Amino acid sequence: MDAVNPATGAVIESYEEADDAEVEAALAASQSAFEEWRDVPLREREELIANAADVLRENAERYARLMTDEMGKPVEQARGEVEKCAWACEYYAEHASQHLADEPRASPAGTEVYTSYEPLGPVLAVMPWNYPFWQVFRFAAPYLTAGNTGILKHASNVPGCALAIEEVFEKAGFPEGVFQSLLVSSSKVDGIIADDRVRAATLTGSEPAGRAVAETAGRELKKTVLELGGSDPVVVLDDADVAQAAETGAWARCQNTGQSCIAGKRFVVHDAVYDDFLDAFLDEIDAYTVGDPRDDQTDIGPMARRDLLEDLHEQVVRSAQAGADVVRGGEPLDREGEYYPPTVLTDVPRDAPVAAEETFGPVAAVLRVDSEEEAVEVANDTDLGLGASVWTEDRARGQRVAHRIDAGCTYVNELVKSDPRVPFGGVKDSGYGRELASDGIREFVNRKTIWVN
């Protein structure tokens, strides 16, 4: 398993994949650790997850540069990712007791009835490379604090990050076996899910990967949470603050080199402000610095792998062939590394790839609409439903439109983001279940009714 720097093409380090015996040992260790971890008082588990936040901050620069080297994230954004992970740990250190407190229920006089939230056991997490720390801590902070144990199958291009995350929990004082990283290929996932010791699975990734995990888990009657792709609309209405919509929208499309499920991807703009928005949007795009991700001044780094760049470029080419106008970018950069420039397409047919498919890179489709009604219709014209944003200076109007968009989360006058304080997840082909907040920590627990006469 090679870690390859996408900015240079150089192999950073090679790692040995776990064999069947090592997988068996990890599963046994996870089950054994769970039997004791589940009985550790919640307050002690909260203290340990708070320790993890301290470890993250103490090693922030090393972890940030590891992310940058393995998947190309601009280092300043990588530092922000480490900080966000620490924030999630602190959130659950502070609020887990409240989220998991026994919940009294109505009952006859003289009885005591309540719901108790108890851990399920070992949870398998299949996580992607694009936010190699945040995606993991988004599952680990709540699920471990709830008393489950975790087994991480990380993406094969970020093995160093997988082992570094295991190190975080070790340094924080978590007992051996509570969190483990398994360096295995995707071919072993079905067998791990099917193992009787694994009680649940969570996946963040592509729609095909989600369907495969859900099929195996469903056959085994195991709970799953899936956060899959997105084709997020950015709806700019005729009364929007165009400058703010363009500035935030451009960043929503290009941060993390556009490699985000909740990136703004389809810009659905009212005709009354279309020209002004497009001019402002292009000005923002033109101001970004594409370059060495280890440079603090870089806004956009390389894409994580050559095949991802090739797939993205093919979508752009096919969209141009379908009639879209490429007004910025549109060709891989002629330089070392997997660099694709910020690319903007206008006059995009609604069945063109950049409008009808998820684009996982810095490519924006700008679509013109004549009314609020048409904007909602275009926004919903996708099988995906992860996030969306609405831009208007009328907050009541923004809320009304937000309720009409089919998405797991819709932000008014703000970019879509995952925040430990609010539940996160999608609808339609973007998956099911929720992460973060109280909803996230209760996904993988036994909601047990206790009735005492």
Active site residues: 227, 261
| Structure tokens given for 105 | 């229920």
Phi then psi dihedrals of residue 383, to 5 deg: -80, -10
Instruction: List the beta bridge partners of residue 78.
Output: none
Label each residue of the chain as H, E or C: CEEECCCCCCEEEECCCCCHHHHHHHHHHHHHHHHHHCCCCHHHHHHHHHHHHHHHHHCHHHHHHHHHHHHCCCHHHHHHHHHHHHHHHHHHHHHHHHHCCCEECCCCCCCEEEEEEEECCEEEEECCCCCCCHHHHHHHHHHHHCCCEEEEECCCCCHHHHHHHHHHHHHHCCCCCCEEECCCCHHHHHHHHHCCCCCEEEEECCHHHHHHHHHHHHHCCCEEEEECCCCEEEEECCCCCHHHHHHHHHHHHHHHHHCCCCCEEEEEEEHHHHHHHHHHHHHHHHCCCECCCCCCCCCECCCCCHHHHHHHHHHHHHHHHCCCEEEECCCCCCCCCCCCCCEEEECCCCCCHHHHCCCCCCEEEEEEECCHHHHHHHHCCCCEECEEEEECCCHHHHHHHHHHCCCCEEEECCCCCCCCCCCECCEECCEECCECHHHHHCCCEEEEEEEEC
Phi then psi dihedrals of residue 119, to 5 deg: -65, 155
C-beta separation of 146 from 119 below 8 A: yes
Nearest Cα residue to 325 out of 366, 269, 375: 366
| N-terminal to C-terminal alpha carbon distance within the chain | 58
Q: How far is C-alpha 291 from the geometric centre of its chain's CA atoms?
A: 24
- Rounded to an integer, what distance in angstroms lies between the CA atom of residue 324 and that of residue 150? 46
- Rounded to an integer, what distance in angstroms lies between the CA atom of residue 363 and that of residue 110? 64
